[in-house]
């Protein structure tokens, strides 16, 4: 199966890693929406017709992941960070009823669109550069041949243009000169040792290559607030999740029950709260609500749940600590993106929930007072015990086992952080070694276990 990897020397920002969008999938919903809008806004003139062909995992599980919805929204000029989730049903009804789309960001201009003929799922076919491929075509007056462009959704909502441009796009980070660049866990620890800076401070100072520290902190605050809002909305939601599996939302009932037990709060109840936080986010994600890719939508509940654990159950927790949590987690996310992948279509779920668990473990260890070495150890533990985790969503929906898997990832991250803090940071398996092992495992994993719904639970559980 084709795949690509980000240049390890390229600079990545926290704004690339944490983005606010809608569910249910960063790679199958957020990325395709962005690609569709990019295509429409790149056209030299109003087209007479546009077409989108989906390949690889997007074709195999796209309908369960709302890729069709994402394409229609993106072609019509909507952005994942700003579209109103409550308005999407009406927008889609108008597109399908009128059989036309708004021409990207152009207000008042429309293009005919027949979904049956113009949105095609090329099941079993792959484009050359990545398993999440899209091909857009536009017929513009005065041109004999359609204008054709390929895009790839490479994980976490990130989109790269056609095969020739991927290498060039990866080089863009070389134009950014960071004061403390690192492309491995070993380099990260060495920088911390030589400068005396924490991992969070290294990342914050590197972000200064793009913007002032106050702007980065304001962005982090918006991410923190969006994560909290996704928990709050998830707790309030009721009823069945869309898609046909008839999965009932559980967060509200669990929340009400836990409220009755607050006077008898013990370790078991704390972990139940953590599970609730993750469950709430991923039910909201599955319902198409607004969440933060952290680093993906399929794993969107892990980091918010552990961050909320820090806020609610750790004495002395404050907003500065929450920012340090995210900056530290981001450092680990950079390494996974540079040295492997955060795409389930490439790595299986170890690249999503596994990476989120590793990031959350590092963030929590940092705000609990861990040294850089202990933080790196926590991140390693978080991934080591997610190696080989497959992505086998039933019915192509980000529901079973995805929602509960986030609760397990969150609890495991907390366990990893405290386990690392019991040692002095010295350990046998390095973070670099476990990332390379994840990459090799993902390469060896059969494609049917990588977000195709062709193996695992997806074929052994009968859909109701």
Closest CA to 68 of 82, 81, 54, 56: 54
For the chain, first and last CA: distance in Å? 31
pLDDT at 45 over 70: yes
DSSP 391: B
Q: Give the model's pLDDT for residue 1.
A: 40
Picking from 199, 225, 229, 203, the residue whose alpha carbon sits closest to that of residue 216 is 203
| Residues making up the chain, counted from first to last | 464
Residue intervals in the chain for CATH 1.10.4100: 185-209+211-459
Percent of the chain past pLDDT 70, that is, above it, reads 94
Give which of 57, 90, 92, 86 is closest to 74, Cα–Cα: 92
Q: Once rounded to an integer, what is the mean pLDDT over residues 78-86?
A: 93
pLDDT of residue 3: 43
pLDDT digits (tens, 9 = 90+) for 126-141: 998 888 999 999 999 8
b (16+ CB within 10 A) / e for 129-158: bbbbbbbbbbebeeeeebbebbbbbbbbbb
Where, residue-wise, is CATH 3.30.1330.90 in the chain?
23-161
In this prediction, residue 143 carries a pLDDT of 80
Confidence band of 463 (pLDDT split at 50, 70, 90): low
185-209+211-459 placed in CATH 1.20.120: no
- Give yes or no for residue 106 having a pLDDT over 90: no
pLDDT tens-digit profile of 315-340? 999 999 999 999 999 999 999 999 99
**Residue from 361, 326, 362 nearest 226 by CA:** 326
Instruction: Give the span between the Cα atoms of 321 and 309, in whole angstroms.
Output: 12
174, burial (CB in 10 Å: exposed 0-12, middle 13-18, buried 19+): exposed
Is the pLDDT at 20 greater than 70? The verdict is: yes
Give the residue carrying structure tokens 């969070």. 200
pTM higher than 0.85, yes or no?
yes
Q: Is the pLDDT reported for residue 10 higher than 50?
A: yes
The DSSP element (H or E) to which 21 belongs, if any, is strand 19-22
Cα 253 to Cα 321: distance, rounded to the nearest angstrom: 31
Summarize the confidence of residues 97-124 as an average pLDDT.
90
- CB atoms inside a 10 Å sphere around CB 382: 33
Residue 218 confidence (pLDDT) = 98
DSSP secondary structure letters along 283-305? HHHHTT-EEEESS-STTTTHHHH
pLDDT for res 104: 75
Task: Say whether pLDDT at 4 is over 70.
Answer: no
Report the 10 Å Cβ neighbour count for 414.
Answer: 25
The pLDDT of 5-30, averaged and rounded, is 86
| 264-296 residue pLDDT tens | 788 889 999 999 999 999 999 999 999 999 999
At residue 80's C-alpha, the angle toward residues 107 and 49, to 5°, is 45
* Region 23-161: CATH code: 3.30.1330.90
Q: How confident is the model over 94-112, as a mean pLDDT? A: 88
Contacts 24+ apart (CB under 8 A), 269-273: 270/309, 270/313, 271/411, 271/414, 273/309, 273/312, 273/313
**Ramachandran bin of 39, using left for φ above 0, alpha for ψ from -120 to 50, beta for the remaining angles:** alpha
Mean pLDDT of the chain: 93
Give the pLDDT band (50/70/90) at residue 163. Answer: low
* Measured distance CA(387)–CA(237) in Å, rounded: 33
Note whether 195 and 278 are within 8 A (CB): no
> Could you tell me the maximum CA-CA distance found in the chain, to the nearest angstrom?
74
pLDDT tens, residue by residue, 210-252: 999 999 999 999 999 999 999 999 999 999 999 999 999 999 9
User: Model confidence over 358-414: pLDDT tens digits?
Assistant: 999 999 999 999 999 999 999 999 999 999 999 999 999 999 999 999 999 999 999
The C-alpha R_g of the chain, in whole angstroms, comes to: 21
pLDDT (0 to 100) of residue 168: 46
Residue 73 C-beta-side C-alpha neighbours within 13 Å: 27
Residues in contact with 308: Cβ distance below 8 Å, sequence separation at least 6, in sequence order: 227, 228, 231, 274, 277
Question: Strands, DSSP E only, in 48-167?
Answer: 49-55, 100-102, 110-112, 119-122, 133-139, 147-155, 158-161
Is the per-residue pLDDT at 70 higher than 80? yes
Which residues are paired to 160 by β-bridges? 152
What pLDDT was estimated at residue 360? 98
Summarize pLDDT for 164-174 with one digit per residue, the tens: 545 544 444 44
Gap between the Cα atoms of 133 and 117, Å rounded: 18
């Amino acid at each position: 199966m084709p795949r690509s990897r980000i240049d390890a020397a390229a600079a990545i920002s926290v704004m690339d890693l944490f983005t606010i969008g809608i569910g249910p999938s960063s790679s199958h919903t957020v990325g395709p929406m962005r690609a569709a809008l990019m295509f429409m806004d790149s056209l030299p003139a109003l087209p007479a017709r546009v077409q989108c062909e989906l390949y690889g995992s997007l074709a195999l599980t796209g309908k369960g992941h709302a890729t069709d919805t994402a394409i229609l929204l993106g072609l019509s000029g909507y952005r994942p960070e700003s579209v109103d989730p409550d308005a999407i049903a009406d927008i889609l009804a108008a597109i399908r009823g009128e059989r036309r789309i708004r021409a990207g960001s152009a207000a008042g201009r429309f293009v005919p669109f027949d979904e049956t003929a113009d949105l095609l799922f090329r099941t079993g076919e792959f484009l050359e550069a990545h398993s999440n491929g899209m091909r857009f075509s536009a017929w513009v007056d005065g041109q004999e041949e359609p204008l054709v462009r390929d895009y790839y959704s490479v994980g976490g909502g990130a989109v790269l243009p056609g095969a020739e441009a991927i290498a060039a796009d990866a080089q863009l980070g070389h134009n950014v000169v960071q004061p403390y660049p690192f492309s491995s866990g070993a380099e990260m620890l060495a920088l911390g040792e030589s400068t005396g800076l924490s991992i969070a401070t290294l990342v914050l100072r590197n972000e200064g290559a793009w913007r002032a520290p106050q702007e980065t902190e304001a962005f982090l605050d918006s991410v923190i607030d969006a994560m909290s809002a996704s928990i709050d909305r998830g707790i309030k939601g009721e009823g069945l999740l869309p898609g046909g599996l008839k999965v009932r939302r559980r967060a509200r009932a669990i929340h009400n029950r836990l409220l009755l037990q607050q006077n008898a709060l013990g370790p078991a109840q704390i972990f139940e709260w953590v599970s609730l936080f993750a469950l709430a986010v991923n039910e909201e994600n599955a319902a198409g609500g607004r969440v933060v890719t952290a680093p993906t939508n399929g794993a969107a509940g892990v980091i918010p749940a552990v961050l909320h654990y820090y806020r609610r159950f750790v004495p002395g927790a404050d907003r500065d600590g929450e920012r340090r949590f995210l900056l530290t987690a981001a450092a680990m996310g950079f390494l996974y993106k540079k040295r492997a992948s955060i795409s389930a279509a490439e790595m299986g779920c170890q690249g999503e929930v596994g990476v989120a668990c590793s990031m959350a473990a590092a963030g929590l260890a940092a705000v609990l007072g861990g040294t850089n070495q202990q933080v790196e150890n926590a991140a390693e533990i978080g991934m080591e015990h997610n190696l080989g985790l497959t992505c086998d969503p039933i019915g192509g929906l980000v529901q079973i086992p995805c929602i509960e898997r986030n609760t397990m990832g969150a609890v495991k991250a907390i366990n990893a952080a405290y386990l690392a803090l019991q040692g002095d940071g010295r350990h046998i398996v390095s973070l670099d070694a476990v990332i390379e092992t994840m990459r090799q495992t993902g390469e060896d994993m059969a494609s049917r276990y990588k977000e195709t719904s062709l193996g695992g639970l997806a074929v052994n559980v009968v859909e109701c």
